[in-house]
Amino acid sequence: MKFIKKKKVRIRICPRCKKATLKNAMNVSGWLAPNSFECTSCDYVGALYIEIDPNDLELTQNSDNEDQEK
């Protein structure tokens, strides 16, 4: 019997605006430099990001919506 490992899916969150709108920025330095990420919402560019589980993202978005309604 074969066991299939499920790949863990993680979502990268922008550390400035806390939205899941990060994409890889062009890295021309090569393999020595760290990856750089760019946020399409707030124009953040940097190597740092927050990584969360997709279920946590849904909980965070739901709590943000409840806070805005109050």
Q: Report the number of distinct structural domains present in the chain.
A: 1
Three-class SS state of 44: coil
SS in 3 state form for 7-60?
Answer: CCCCEEECCCCCCCCEEECCCCCCCCCCCCEEECCCCCEECCCEEECHHHHHHH
Looking at residue 59, its pLDDT comes to 65
pLDDT for residue 68 is more than 60: no
Kindly report, residue by residue over 41-54, the tens digit of the pLDDT. 998 998 899 988 88
**Residue 2 domain flag:** no
Residue 38 lies in a domain: yes
**Within-domain flag for 54:** yes
**Predicted TM-score (pTM) of this structure:** 0.62
Q: What are phi and psi of 46, to 5 degrees?
A: 175, 180
Q: How confident is the model at residue 9 (pLDDT cuts 50, 70, 90)?
A: confident
Is 37 a domain residue?
Answer: yes
